[in-house]
Amino acid sequence: MRKHILILTAGFLILSIFYAGLKTFADKGRSYYEETGEVVWDINTKDKIVALTFDDGPHPKYTAGVLDLLAKYEAKATFFVVGGNAEKYPELVLRTYTEGHELANHTYTHPFKISVTDLQEELRQTNEMIYSITGFYPVLFRPVGGNYNDKMINAAVKDGYKVVMWSWHQDTQDWKQPGVSKIVKKVLNGTKPGDVILFHDGGGNRTQTLKALEEILPTLKKEGYTFVTVSELIESKQQQEAVK
């Protein structure tokens, strides 16, 4: 009987240590990271500003199309660039930068699973590639697929990045090609001040994204919205907090 009690006690201690470890290394959650400022999803503001973001480019057809539309409606956006694509299409990276948009880091090979060490190397490679084209080092990083853990966040922050996600209600899922009308309705029905809206300008056929933007941009502009970069959005929040 005593032997069984000792076994049960030992098992309980092992489980306690295991769950304590999980609590230590598990995702701390949105509220924690928003409080520290290490990760941004969106901001709380009354100003009618939103940040359009584009992942997985550049692409010779779709990124160029997005840039044409942004220029037409005097909109600024943030492009989360894949380093390998930047190497293939440096002229598009330079055009994006010279037209006043923000360049950000989306890894070099777009891996959905990656170790922290490999992530740091991919971020370094992408930043060096973008710098070699523009003379600018990105300071924003978006995890591939929005997948992250505490170790990844800690490593990215240590290397000088701010991690950027997107508003949970503003994932257009345009990569699934759900139809132009669905993309348009998703954005227009959900937009509110301070949103970070997720689109893609690479990684597949983005014709629907372009057609959706043809409706989204003029409509939101008519409603009084201004399209800013993510860094401008963050700066707006900081200025509001400084006034309080």
Residue numbers of the chain with a pLDDT score lower than 50: 1-26
CB 97 within 8 Å of CB 67 = no
Kindly list the catalytic residues. 55, 200
Residues contacting residue 179 through CB under 8 Å, at least 6 positions apart: 208
Query: What is the reported pLDDT for 237?
Result: 81
Closest Cα partner for 45 from 201, 209, 243? 243
- pLDDT of 194-235, one tens digit each? 999 999 999 999 999 999 999 999 999 999 999 999 999 999
- pLDDT of 77-98, one tens digit each? 999 999 999 999 999 999 999 9
